[in-house]
């Protein structure tokens, strides 16, 4: 399949962006896994009136569909489903995740979360409004100037 075939067959909206125009400016240096949140938040805000049933946040490398991903999970209630990441260790046992939390939010926050499981943002599914609010909250955190020094590959 070519990109053009996929876009046509599944009515995909391709949304180009120019990193040089991103605001606030510190976003221009961020890895795509971090900078996706302000971009997703902006696009979901633009699409509020379209009455989408749900939103699936997924890294392309993590994604394969065997049927409608929204069919079994979304009901009339507002829901958000996130999925655990590395289940074999906690945030405190993981140098990458624990270090990231320490660098971004301080040692006290790392200690508070040390016994918690690692939850990845790579795959999540939600009703549209809950997904929009999640993306807005993620965008707010990563767009804060205090976040810039600790940004490292999402």
35-91: per-residue pLDDT in tens? Answer: 889 999 999 999 988 888 888 888 776 677 788 888 767 666 788 888 776 778 899
Determine the angle formed by the axes of helices 32-46 and 128-143, rounding to 10 degrees.
130
Asked if pLDDT for residue 113 goes beyond 90, the answer is yes
52/134: higher pLDDT: 134
Looking at residue 100, its pLDDT comes to 86
User: Does the predicted TM-score (pTM) go above 0.85?
Assistant: no
Are 65 and 149 within 8 A, CB to CB? no
Q: Nearest to residue 129, comparing CAs of 89, 72, 83, 77?
A: 77
Phi, psi of 73 (to 5 degrees): -105, -30
């Amino acid at each position: 399949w070519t990109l053009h075939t996929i876009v046509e067959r599944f009515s995909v909206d391709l949304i180009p962006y120019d990193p040089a125009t991103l605001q606030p400016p510190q976003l221009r240096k961020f890895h795509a896994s971090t900078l996706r949140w302000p971009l997703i938040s902006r696009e979901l805000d633009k699409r509020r009136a379209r009455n989408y049933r749900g939103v699936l946040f997924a890294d392309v490398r993590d994604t394969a569909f065997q049927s409608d991903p929204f069919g079994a999970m979304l009901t009339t209630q507002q829901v958000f489903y996130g999925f655990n990441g590395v289940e074999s260790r906690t945030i405190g046992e993981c140098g990458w995740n624990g270090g990231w939390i320490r660098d971004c939010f301080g040692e006290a926050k790392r200690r508070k979360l040390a016994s918690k499981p690692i939850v990845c943002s790579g795959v999540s599914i939600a009703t549209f409004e809950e997904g929009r609010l999640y993306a807005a909250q993620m965008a707010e955190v990563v767009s804060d100037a205090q976040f810039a020094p600790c940004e490292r590959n999402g």
